[in-house]
Chains A and B, each alone.
Chain A
């Protein structure tokens, strides 16, 4: 059983007031809050051992390098990758996807097919559109239905021996839907296609096992799972990362440089040009330790409770519609009040200290499907409470009254 008050005390920001009300932070899908241990890790880094890594002979550089590589190993262990060199530090999920898309731009030919899902965040659509423009490859879309669920039959019909890559999010950031990625991966592999899974929204709630999933690429962001902004990770199977050309050129990713010819470094450094976010990487490792300390089973069970409670209470409000109606969801509730623009609702509940997100959530295709300008999205974390959900429900009712 989680001690929720103890956990909340780990997060100093939860004490603050917003517009004279206690902060109710329900925008975790945008970014999560940071526990004291991760804040301390960041301060510790800059206080005691800040140095550039990998090439220094001096002690400080060695300490920083050790800690950074330890963090890489923590990430490998967390995602159960086979090899540490299969973990690439990035600046976030978007960077990771662009890295792979850029790599595929060098491998794809005209007429090759890529399959994307209708539920994607723009970061898992746009880089691929750019790759298709550059190569003449074609983008196909797995359709969704009114419940926000992907049509797996249609997916199978889209697959062919021309399919080179399938990409899909593990959890939809706009609707909270958990996608059947195991099935998607199996089917893709049957036609010889690789799969990239966008795990940005999943990793705060789920502990993915990349070997079990047999996924080819998996991307995640530190700041969505209690880590700092500006750091993320890309997992890629060694055979794939070896095949892809480097993304950014510069220091660190080279073996030898001359104006005649330059050779590239081995994995993982081949994809890590320049001075990385050293502090961020180390703090990302600390965040993973923190969350594993609580335990993902406990987190999952508690968040399921919050989701069920939030869904039940919000559903009681007449005229409120929830998008993403399925049992297989992470703790995200996307909704609208009939006849009321989501921006209006978000503005009013903010006055009561409640942080939700409004708009298209970087998933315009989903909004276009439902023919709406956007939704109000409340996304929960393991440090939220039922009382906070009650506050949201009251605030939404007030907004409804004021805006009708």
Chain B
């Protein structure tokens, strides 16, 4: 599936929910399916700055697609990153670079896009895109 198709799928799933509690419960559920980063990659270089909770992201090129694994010590953060990884993992670096993140707003998690220090969603998206740029350069 393309990034846009996955994002549309996620938006559809979240549209089933009426209130914030259901959205958060679902997000917490999604967090449980996050492909977990291996312990050896939980290093200082892989920590995303700008999060109140600890977030690690690791990227690897497999068959010219970028595969992300991650983890966080906060459950809601884990849920957010699980959504991002689902949308962006296993895609070409170029597609990741070109993708937008409007879908975060559409699933009702807009408050996590605010550039406060507490939530690192903006930092996470930036980091995933930076990995894509780095690996795209490597491929060229």
Which A residues fall within an 8 A CB radius of B? 19, 340-341, 343-344, 346-348, 351, 358-359, 373-374, 402-403
Contacts of B52 in A (CB 8 A): 343, 358-359, 373-374
Known: A358-B118, A403-B28. A340 touches B53 (CB 8 A): no
CA of A229 to CA of B73 in the docked complex: distance in angstroms?
34
B36 CB–A CB distance under 8 Å: no
User: Does chain A have a CB within 8 A of B16?
Assistant: no
Name B53's closest neighbour in chain A (CB-CB): A343
A19 and B76 CA atoms in complex are apart in Å by 18
Range of interface residues on B (Cβ < 8 Å) = 10 to 19
When distances are taken between beta carbons in the complex, the residues of chain A under 8 Å from B21 are 351, 402
CB pair A341 B118 closer than 8 Å: no
Contact A351 B20 (CB under 8 A): yes
B130 CB–A CB distance under 8 Å: no
The verdict on B25 contacting chain A, using a C-beta distance below 8 Å, is yes
Q: Are A373 and B54 in contact (CB under 8 A)?
A: yes
Report Cα–Cα, A218/B112, bound state, in Å.
Answer: 39
CA A347 – CA B73 in complex, angstroms? 14
Q: Is the CB of B28 within 8 A of A343?
A: no
Among A340, A347, A403: residue with most chain B CB under 10 A: A347
**Residues from 35 to 81 in B contacting A, C-beta threshold 8 Å:** 52-54, 73-77
Find chain B residues with CB under 8 A from A346 CB.
Answer: 118
The contact string, 1 if C-beta is below 8 Å from chain A, for chain B 9-38, is: 000000000001100110010000000000
Residues of B contacting A341 in the complex (Cβ-Cβ under 8 angstroms): 53, 73-75, 77
Kindly list chain B residues whose C-beta atoms are within 8 Å of the C-beta of A347.
76
The answer to whether residues A340 and B20 also contact, given A359-B118, A373-B54, A374-B52 and a CB cut-off of 8 A, is: no
A373-B54, A373-B73 known; A343-B20 Cβ under 8 A: no
